[in-house]
Amino acid sequence: MNEKQAQERVNELHELLNKLNYEYYVLDQPSASDAEYDRYMQELLQLEEQFPALKTADSPTVRVGGTVLEAFKKVEHRIPMLSLGNAFNDGDLRDFDRRVRQTIGDDVQYVCELKIDGLAVSVRYEGGVFVQGATRGDGQVGEDITENLKTVRSLPLRLNEQATLEVRGEAFMPKRSFEALNKIKEEKGEELFANPRNAAAGSLRQLDPKIAASRNLDMYVYSIADLGNTNVSSHSEALNLLERMGYKTNPERRRCLSIDEVIDYCESWTVKRADLAYDIDGIVIKVDSLAQQEELGTTVKSPRWAIAYKFPAEEVVTKLLDIEVTVGRTGAITPTALLEPVKVAGTTVQRASLHNEDLIREKDIRIGDYVIVKKAGDIIPEVVGVVEDRRTGEEMPYEMPTHCPECDSELVRIEDEVALRCINPKCPAQIREGLIHFVSRNAMNIDGLGEKVVTQLFSENLIHDVADIYKLTKPQLIALERMGEKSANNLLAAIDASRSNSLEKLLFGLGIRHVGAKAAKTLAQHFGTMEALSQATLEELVAIHEIGEKMAQSVVAYFANPDVKELIEELKESEVNMAYKGPKPIDASEVDSYFSGKTIVLTGKLEQMSRSDAKAEIEALGGKVTGSVSKSTNLVIAGEAAGSKLDKATELGIEVWDEARMLEELQK
């Protein structure tokens, strides 16, 4: 066989194997036996070995895993991967519906989808070919897991059409694959995975794609991140389009005409969830209309047009053996229950939160009690009550300590606060917890510098404050237990990369009291540099929208501290970035543009650019782009097949431009 003949056969095998993959893993309707499939795959592998130039990035053979990776690269999401707000009961769902209807009116429909308990991923295609996959990470930056995602056979490597788009989905491990994997681990005497979600995440974060390939993962796609020129008007239409392109979408979704139908759907799956071949931890409810989604908008963390209904938490009974207290980074003293091991929502629990002293007294929780334990949101174990009729009289009431368990300073209760607090700024526990917070995902996001490594570095006196992280050397790291040369190199590279983070990451990482991630970004955007923020007055701070007096006082007090000034200088000397790098909020009054201060609607298919790109450019010039036409709309830009929005604009006498007129104005 010559190369031309081989190319023809390779093309035939690509088409055949892709078809068989789709039938087996997406439709669950195989038309060939496993033996036939394996025979075609072996033939393709042999041809690619004989003619290496014929192996392509989207070849079905990449499903078996490729070259071992050195490390995962960072991927910045062009469109942030937001998390969802939670609803825990019917009342929460009705509150969500009320908020939606207050903004967009009563004409609203929802789409309900099963919330798969797996790993959220973003996958990108160019010309219909899969080119990159990434984890969610902190929502802004994730990890490149392209090679591992290629091994997920339900994810198409080539679409049915030459589309360029980015889609979001959930990679997961079916129950059958999970049981088989844990059986193998048990036979080898290895630690078992706690649940399928952990197993899926662990599989996709393997540096050797062959390991991921052996784990038999699956994936459902649930949204298009950038609709571009797809010209769909609803979420349900988008899901149908994804199916036509060759993606696997969850067939159990339902379009609901009212919140009552949504509640019925949630209740039915609360009962039926155990019958599924995979784990789910709730239901995702989304407003169906994309125009209404756009009008509702998002907060910094989550969309206002979607919510996740969480199933009622499983409750179990076990014995409370003891109570210990821990010291947080702000000095708050938190009591934790030590329990007889018990299985809750798929994992073995030995510790559970008791929140604070008031809760222990209110619920009369005693050492030796049989207590009711659940996982809040199916994640965090907590003690919710006592089984009083199982008391024997030997149970002991618990008294909170009067002194810090770490530094022995006297504990205080600050007015209007429920928590006892250690107010010694040199308390080792507070320093250690502050370091762990500084390197965490939502702060400086330093890969490889997790809680265990930070604790190890702290106990070895290698770091005393966050500035010391940037002074670590390779010999210091290699001397640590379980830290080889490769791990040390990777850690130093991650530390070095964090120097260039935008200011809001550093601000949040510093742990200023009352300043969360959202406030840190607001402050960074407003002041631009650490120096400008450090010199801000109380009056300047409270004048900023969303910055209250308590937060402003905390910021002023923080930067007035001489130790903080010294710390900031040390970080500067270590070349840690002190400036905001993100986009600044647009002040329409300062923008000299036709679009400045106007409300604009984009409708129909644009030829020269995607709607999302047009929206970004208009907003950069001070315009506000919304999804629906109303009396407050100043301008409608209509592409091909503009439809009802164009009709409404004409009816209301609103100015209408075509794409050419828009481009002309954008280029001025």
Q: Please identify every residue annotated as catalytic.
A: 115
Beta strands 370-376; 366-367: pairing state: unpaired
Residues 250 and 237: their CA atoms lie apart, in Å, by: 14
- Give the residue from 80, 52, 131 showing the smallest Cα distance to 518: 80
Residues 66 and 28: their CA atoms lie apart, in Å, by: 26
Q: Using an 8 Å Cβ cutoff, are 285 and 275 in contact?
A: no
Residues 134 and 327: their CA atoms lie apart, in Å, by: 35
Residues 483 and 287: their CA atoms lie apart, in Å, by: 49
Helices (H) and strands (E) in the chain, counts: 25, 24
Coil, strand, or helix at residue 249? coil
Residue 409, C-beta contacts closer than 8 angstroms, at least 6 positions apart: 403, 422, 423, 424, 427
Amino acid at 187: E
- Residue 130 token pair: 């899969």
Q: Using an 8 Å Cβ cutoff, are 192 and 182 in contact?
A: yes
- Residue 429 token pair: 């526990």
Could you tell me how far CA 351 lies from the centroid of its own chain?
Answer: 26
Residues 65 and 196: their CA atoms lie apart, in Å, by: 21
CA angle 248, 110, 254 (to 5 degrees): 45
Amino acid at 659: E
Residues 326 and 333: their CA atoms lie apart, in Å, by: 6
Whose structure tokens read 């209509």?
638
Beta strands 366-367; 347-353: pairing state: unpaired
* Bridge partners (DSSP) listed for residue 172: 218
- Residue 652 token pair: 């209301």
Q: Using an 8 Å Cβ cutoff, are 65 and 212 in contact?
A: yes
Q: Mark 476-496 as b/e (b = at least 16 C-beta within 10 Å).
A: ebeebeebeeeebebbeebbe
- Give the residue from 519, 513, 518 showing the smallest Cα distance to 82: 518
Residue 330, C-beta contacts closer than 8 angstroms, at least 6 positions apart: 421, 430, 511, 513
Whose structure tokens read 């390939």?
213
* Bridge partners (DSSP) listed for residue 337: 323, 352
Coil, strand, or helix at residue 320? strand
DSSP 498-523: HTT--HHHHHHHHT-TT--HHHHHHH
DSSP 560-613: H-HHHHHHHHHHHHTT---B--SPPPP-GGG--STTTT-EEEEESB-SSS-HHH
Residue 560, C-beta contacts closer than 8 angstroms, at least 6 positions apart: none
DSSP structure class, residue 24: I
Helix (H) or strand (E) holding 430: helix 428-439
Could you tell me how far CA 342 lies from the centroid of its own chain?
Answer: 29
